[in-house]
Structure 1
Amino acid sequence: MQSPAGDNSGAPPTKRAKPEMYGPPQYSAQYSAPQYGGPSAMGGANGHFSLEQFLKRDDEKLPPNHIIRISITNVQYPINVETVYKVCSMAGGVRKIVCFERNNIAQAMVEFDTLESADKARTSLHGCDVYDNCCTMKVEYSKMDALSVKENGPLSWDFTDKNSEPIDRRPVILNRPGGAMSSMGGSNRGGNMYGSNGGGFSMENMGTTNPMMGSTGNGATNMMNMMSGGADRTSMGHHGHHDMMPGAVDQSYGEDRTSVLMAYGLDSEKWDPSLVFNLVCQYGNVNKIFFMKNKDGTAMVEMGDPIAADNVHRFVGEIAVFNNKVRFSHSKKHKRLDVMPLEYELPNGSSSIKSYMHEKHLNRFLRHDMARKNRLLRPTKVLHFYNVERVPDEELNAGFQLREAPFPINIKWMEPKENTRSTGVSGLLYFETVEDATDALVLMNHAQVGERNMKLVFSPAKY
């Protein structure tokens, strides 16, 4: 995104080094937050508040959602649909945007086309500055199931509405004079939150009197050009927030992102492609898995897209399975597995190669309604099971014994809700340790229980 130009003489002194956009995030030993806003902004003493306090999220107990809420503080340039689109389209396809103000904080609701894109935006954009040293974003999951857009304009836009495309699509090269250039209109630093003289993007014929507007221009044309041209990736500082997805800056925004993971520490006497799939399928679609004959204990995994690969690296990048440390890292040589190696037989008699590209009953992120049901978690001591028939606990335990998996110490069955189409019974499996739960998931995921194949995921449930 292009940083607004202007005279920064009225800006507060920068108290942190400007991070590089495409390099690893730079962390300072001690962060001293600028004194933003007034008491109404955060209620801090003497009108001051901590940036760390602002960035504290309240959505940790909410399930993942394809809709996120972005709160922006220290707003010194206008925030509108075009601004939010350029920022969020870096993470994935954007369906709808609604911008508004609440308690003197600029906010935006953004609906993505997939749960994975929303999760990536929540993780990688949180704590970023839209512009250098201002417009800091807090990104959280929303409680909303659907985002409603009443009209397409500077503060809201439905990108799924094909009727909104303008007839005249002449490209706009520059903003009109007097928008972002302080020498032609004055800087809005130190002015009100949505000062009309601040920078921004041209939005002609879309309500030029709105306080969140920066200048005039053909907004509908600009929006369609932006959708076809992709996001501008030239300006967003980052505070090095502790919840940052590993590699979110140096990998998530790069052009050379990979969908391929290297898996190390796989005892070939115990592992095969199906067991690897049982572990990583919780975090995205899986295309191919193969073991390397010339590197014992090593496998290559091609996920459906780079976001899924990032999820695996983030949530199970290094875990204990079968009394051994298993590690997943991004491949430095391959973006896709275009050439498969020679197939050979593993010690357990299974093939070293397995393709899952057409396994519509195994991959869990094929459709939006499927993807949003998945909760991305690190390993826990509780497993959620679903898609099974109700059977006696003894019969379920017999399946664990057959596969030499750790037994659950407690089984909790949950009956399907009334007036819902039944897709089997679900429940929770409680284990003594995280390692036991992980071993059980790898061995029992997709195991047959009655006439159905049980599906397992890690659960946030507590004892």
Structure 2
Amino acid sequence: MGMGMGMGGRGRGSQRYGAGYGPPPPEYGPHADSPVLMVYGLEPLKINADRVFNIFCLYGNIERVKFMKSKPGAAMVEMGDCYSVDRAISHLNNTFLFGQKLNVCVSKQQAIVPGQSYQLEDNTSSFKDFHGSRNNRFASPEQAAKNRIQHPSNVLHFFNAQPEITEETFFQICEELGIKSPTSIKLFTGKSERSSSGLLEWESINDAMEALALMNHYQMKNPSGPYPYTLKLCFSTTHPSN
């Protein structure tokens, strides 16, 4: 913890780093001096706080998401630490989502102040607190170590799906959510009896980004119990044909 605290510049984000992701190498300190991101270029008709979370959670814990009423298509994303901000910027800046180019940069603010919220186009709130969300993937060093930090690609790795998943299930989910169906699906066999995993490939990175935004953390019915499976997605460098 001490190593992370001494190197993070100002801002509490650096102090959380040791607890959230293990100590950084001695020569490395976060470039960002705030744990808050500014994201521009979001499609107002298609985006909400959960969909922002579904993409940015691949690069660090999310504390809060707040849309800017004065700037349509702009949102603030408070990450768990400054290192997560660095990762999000280096991987997501200049990528495309819903056909719009994203501009991801550091905010001058050190934290998101909730303030007054308003209704987005889909009638969800412009502000959402994700602190303590079970879908955050960097809650402990052990959990954080499982994440493979990848640049966006047209292939998504899925895991924690219901055990008897089929290709048809994914086609039905995509139709329900209004996103393009994958061009290729590979189901892994023999990994675990409790859940299933595999690869989903789309024609373009933009299509995969849209699928990530809408389908990550989709609640899948559990045929043998009361609690649904929370489908989880992340980018992959492996292709289904390999």
- The aligned residue for residue 374 of structure 1 is 147
Aligned counterparts of 2:170 and 2:104: Cα–Cα separation in 1: 31
Distance of 2:128 and 2:217 partners within structure 1 = 15
Of the candidates 230, 233, 237, which is equivalent to residue 456 of structure 1? 233
Counterpart in the other structure of 1:281? 57
Structure 1 Cα separation of the partners of residues 216 and 197 of structure 2: 13
Question: Using CA pairs below 8 Å that are at least 6 residues apart, which structure has the higher relative contact order?
Answer: 2
Q: For residues 275 and 460 of structure 1, what CA distance do their matches in structure 2 show?
A: 22
Question: How far, CA to CA, are the matches of 1:87 and 1:396 in structure 2?
Answer: 41
Note if contact 2:170-2:181 (Cα within 8 Å) is conserved in structure 1.
Answer: no
Equivalent AA in structure 1 for residue 80 of structure 2: G
2:41 counterpart (262, 265, 268): 265
For the residues of structure 2 that align with 1:414 and 1:408, how far apart are their CA atoms? Answer: 16
CA contact (8 A) 1:115 1:368 kept: yes
1:325 aligns with 2:96: no
Q: How many residues align?
A: 225
Residue 308 (1) aligns with residue 225 (2): no
Structure 2 matches for 1:352-367, cutoff 5 A?
Answer: 352-359=126-133, 361-367=134-140
Residue 414 of structure 1: how far off its partner (Å) = 1.3
* Equivalent pair of 1:416/1:426 in contact (CA under 8 Å): no
Work out which of the residue numbers 179, 185, 196 in structure 2 matches 1:411: 185
CA distance in 2, matches of 1:86, 1:291: 34
In structure 2, what residue type is equivalent to 1:266? L
Structure 1 position 336 matched with structure 2 position 111: yes
Q: Is the Cα–Cα contact under 8 Å of residues 116 and 307 in structure 1 kept in the other structure?
A: no
Matches for 1:380-391 after TM superposition, within 5 Å: 380-389=153-162, 390-391=164-165
1:275 Cα offset (Å): 0.5
Distance 1:438 1:86 in 2: 35
Larger radius of gyration: 1
Q: Which TM-score applies when normalising by structure 2?
A: 0.84
Change (3 A) 1:323 1:329: same
Length-normalised TM-score, structure 1: 0.45
CA contact (8 A) 2:62 2:80 kept: yes
Alignment deviations for residues 115-154 of structure 1 (CA, whole Å, 9 cap, x no partner): 4644xx39x75xxxxxxxxxxxxxxxxxxxxxxxxxxxxx
Relative to structure 1, is the Cα distance of residues 116 and 320 closer, same or farther in structure 2, using a 3 angstrom cutoff?
Answer: farther
Q: Which has the higher helix share?
A: 2
1:402 aligns with 2:176: yes
RMSD over aligned Cα, in angstroms?
A: 2.5
Contact 2:19 2:140 in 1 (8 A): no
Q: Secondary structure at the match of 2:208?
A: helix
In 1, Cα distance between equivalents of 2:204 and 2:23: 32
What residue ranges of structure 2 are gaps of 5+ in the alignment? 9-13, 222-227
1:446 corresponds in structure 2 to 217
TM superposition shift of 1:430: 1.2
Deviation at 1:437, TM superposition (A): 1.1
5+ unaligned residues in a row in structure 1: which ranges? 1-84, 94-111, 126-247
Q: Please tell me whether the aligned partners of residues 282 and 457 of structure 1 are also in contact (alpha carbons under 8 angstroms).
A: yes
Q: 1:410 to 1:285 in 2, by over 3 A?
A: same
**Which residue does the alignment assign to 1:233?**
none
Conserved 8 A contact 1:400-1:406: yes
- SS in structure 2 of the partner of residue 294 of structure 1: coil
